[in-house]
Structure 1
């Protein structure tokens, strides 16, 4: 299934969850705070801008934000919050689409780079970020750490969240470095059938991500376990990695 087919009208309309999940203040607040800091007063570009979960509050903080988005339904939801003047968006693939001008910051949040299902596509994404960055600019990637250590022999699935009305699990193909995320949502009280949303990903190890950056002419500046700056350790489930271009070309 194409990425544009996954993020269709139904997915776009149900994507936002104001005040909860990835829209919760304790999740979104540190994300925006850190990105404001990293722009250093310059322009920011979000790859796969979606419905504007991060871009809208970032723009409200005074940052000049542009975006790239493949899914028109997702962009239509963004347009209910901010018009083209406030947040310009180019419709296209984040691995190839170009946005006019240079940027101090390019960023990818919430595991989005894994939506590119080949290593070549992910490397192209890094190179596209580098093309948009001004000298000394930064590329920020938020990504989960593959949890293959949790897979017992012969088992392919890992349940990563189980809560009232929701179950999230991943099925791994370790040979091809592919994973499919399954999101089951249901009314825990009514006992009705669950609604299922699935999305395929190519998982990436942190060291592989660093090599992609090197191929694009960037080096790792910092890596933390979250947006608030927690130490990244062997037990961390995710990371925020900041890569930087050379100060002069």
Structure 2
């Protein structure tokens, strides 16, 4: 099943909002131009657009870009929005931005060496004095809290299938997602099964999967793009410093006034 099919239900599947306040705080710190890569179906884009003078959204999947741009246009932001289809590892835009964002676990779809390429590609689009933010999951248990990311359960046995949720689509049908996870060294593979129910019957079903890679605190320094300094490394969206048991690994890089390390 092509990834474009998931794009049609992405806004129902991914409803995480824990990062929104943190991201809007970055946008509000003198960031009139923003690059978001990848954009998915516009979960963050729609929240950022009212506060950005210029927003460019990028994704490898054309349907994701189309859905995001259409949603932004419906909200009246079309004149300040640009959508591009591109591989984040090979991003080449003739633009520079005050803020570049690689949200949630997007970079972790790539192994760390390829993640370094994507980070450098995004950084090349940051204007002097601008910032680059990359948000990673540590896949550690959250004491007393819900798992983060919400599709990962550190207590689940590998290979055991479970129903994650049942959610209602815009046409009134129901989308059911089941998943199983498999730990494999420095990565976690997720097998996903989707079913669309109409009147209690299965109208459609498809399978998908993804592999997410673990990134370390040391990688943040080792992968630092040319001309950028590590400004901060947070362990969660409250701005706390990263520690060995933090649920997130959020790096902020800032570009100096001139090129060079």
TM-score range (shorter-chain normalised) is 0.7 to 0.9
Aligned to 2:7: 12
Aligned to 1:157: 158
Structure 2 CA distance for aligned equivalents of residues 136 and 124 of structure 1: 21
TM-score normalised to structure 2 length: 0.73
Residues 14-58 of structure 1: CA deviation (Å, up to 9, x unaligned): 1103xxx8535x5254144223234x1431111111211111221
Q: Say whether the 8 Å CA contact 2:133–2:250 is kept in structure 1.
A: yes
Q: Say whether the 8 Å CA contact 2:134–2:252 is kept in structure 1.
A: yes
Structure with more strand by fraction = 2
Aligned to 2:228: 218
**Root mean square deviation, CA, Å:** 3.5
Shift of 1:6: 5.8
Aligned to 1:101: 95
TM-score normalised to structure 1 length: 0.76
Aligned to 2:118: 125
Change (3 A) 1:223 1:15: same
Q: Say whether the 8 Å CA contact 2:126–2:255 is kept in structure 1.
A: yes
Shift of 1:92: 0.9
Q: How does 1:158-237 map to 2 (within 5 A)?
A: 165=166, 169-174=180-185, 177-183=186-192, 196-213=207-224, 215-237=225-247
Aligned to 1:36: 27
Structure 2 CA distance for aligned equivalents of residues 137 and 198 of structure 1: 35
1:48 equivalent among 38, 53, 72 = 38
Aligned to 1:59: 49
Shift of 1:212: 0.8
Structure 1 portions without partners, runs of 5+: none
Residues 177-199 of structure 1: CA deviation (Å, up to 9, x unaligned): 33212345679xx8x8x975421
Structure 2 CA distance for aligned equivalents of residues 122 and 70 of structure 1: 15
Which stretches of structure 1, 4 residues or more, deviate above 6 A after TM superposition?
A: none
Structure 2 CA distance for aligned equivalents of residues 66 and 162 of structure 1: 35
Structure 1 CA distance for aligned equivalents of residues 192 and 230 of structure 2: 32
Aligned to 1:136: 129
Shift of 1:158: 8.8
Structure 2 CA distance for aligned equivalents of residues 7 and 226 of structure 1: 30
Q: Say whether the 8 Å CA contact 1:146–1:204 is kept in structure 2.
A: no
Aligned to 2:146: none
Shift of 1:115: 1.7
Other structure's SS at 2:118 match? helix
Structure 2 portions without partners, runs of 5+: 142-152, 167-176
